[in-house]
Amino acid sequence: MSTPLDDLFVKVRAENRAALIAYIPAGFPTIEGCKKVIQAFVEGGVDAIEIGFPYSDPVMDGPTIQAAADQSLSQGTNAADVFDALKVATDSGVPAVVMTYWNPIEKYGVEKFAQSIAANGGSGVITPDLTIEESAGWKSAVEKSEINPIYVVAPSTSAQRLPQVTSRCGGFVYAASLMGVTGTRSSVSSGAPDLVARIRETTDLPIGVGLGVSTREQAKGVAGYADGVIVGSAFIKAMQDATNEAEGLKSVRELAQQLSLGVREGR
């Protein structure tokens, strides 16, 4: 069985372009405001949405997403809010996944978490701190719920280890373009094309590139060699920098429009 995310990548490959994948933490800027950001994503033309499960100890995230997670958690965002946000995204007809550190999954119940993803129309889960060595329980849970397990690989992932990780992935492989945490950067790492090429040798799965993408030009560049362009911090900054929510939503929509042009210009 294929997920909406799988179908999306079939479609964008046929269109010879990359998909734009947008990230927002559930409960940011507020629980209701997050749903409006999702709406702005859809209106701006994003192809898929990542809903972040805000976590108290996000070691893969830079200051922008940390601040967003703190703001969300201070309003009491919980698992139910994450699944609500996921449902808002999937109800709008856009494939959506959840990105979460491992402990919230373990606390919620591994099988139950996978079931709740599926029940809310979600296609999969990105797990940035779940190593393949610790993933036995998760593997059987995602198989049972027929959702995509999306693991992150890094430039430092060895040639020997790379196929072990990518063979566990479904939906797409998340390529972290550089050694570092999330956040916007003036340029996307020059190591990213090389990493994508190394991943291609191990799998036919689509490859999404994240970490550091914030502009149309960068999206265009990444779309030249990757199947998906993942943007997170830039959208959060657009909300943080705005003087009010309406203005922030407008910026998000415009940024999404720009980026969605970028992912069509890469080839």
Partner 1 sequence: MTTLDEIAGHFGQYGGRFVPEALIGALEELDAARIKAQTDPTFIAELAALHRTYTGRPSALTEAKRFAEHAGGARILLKREDLNHTGSHKINNVLGQALLTKRMGKKRIIAETGAGQHGVASATAAALMGLECVVYMGEEDTRRQALNVARMKLLGAEVIPVTSGSRTLKDAINEAMRDWVTNVETTHYMLGTVAGPHPFPSMVRDFHKIIGEESREQVLALTGKLPTAVLACVGGGSNAIGIFHRFISDPEVRLIGLEAAGDGVETGRHAATITGGSPGVLHGNRTYVLQDENGQTIESHSISAGLDYPGVGPEHAYLHDIGRAEYRAITDAQAMHAFALLCKTEGIIPAIETAHALAGALQIGNELGPEAILLINLSGRGDKDVQTAAQYFGIPL
Residues 184-213 that bind partner 1 (CB under 8 A): none
Residues 108-137 that bind partner 1 (CB under 8 A): 108, 128-131, 133-134
Distance CA 65, CA 50 (A): 13
Select the residue interacting with partner 1 from 143, 161, 241, 254 (CB under 8 A).
161
Distance CA 128, CA 149 (A): 11
CB 16 within 8 A of CB 267: yes
* Residue owning tokens 């079931």: 115
- The residue among 72 and 123 lying less far from partner 1, judged by its C-beta, is 72
Q: Is 61 a catalytic residue?
A: yes
Select the residue interacting with partner 1 from 2, 30, 104, 111 (CB under 8 A).
104
Question: How many other β-carbons are positioned within 10 Å of the β-carbon of residue 185?
Answer: 16
Distance CA 196, CA 187 (A): 17
CB 222 within 8 A of CB 188: yes
Report the number of secondary-structure helices (H) and strands (E) in the chain. 12, 9
Q: Is 70 a catalytic residue?
A: no
Shortest spacing between CB 188 and partner 1, in angstroms: 16
Shortest spacing between CB 246 and partner 1, in angstroms: 29
- The residue among 40 and 82 lying less far from partner 1, judged by its C-beta, is 82
Residues 47-86 that bind partner 1 (CB under 8 A): 55-60, 62-63, 66, 70, 73, 78-79
Name the CA dihedral angle for 155, 214, 221, 205, rounded to a multiple of 10 degrees: 50
- The residue among 12 and 173 lying less far from partner 1, judged by its C-beta, is 173
| Selection from 207, 210, 199, 209 nearest residue 162 by Cα | 199
Active site residues: 50, 61
Query: What are the residues binding partner 1 (CB under 8 A)?
Result: 55-60, 62-63, 66, 70, 73, 78-79, 102-108, 128-131, 133-134, 151-158, 161, 165, 176, 179-181
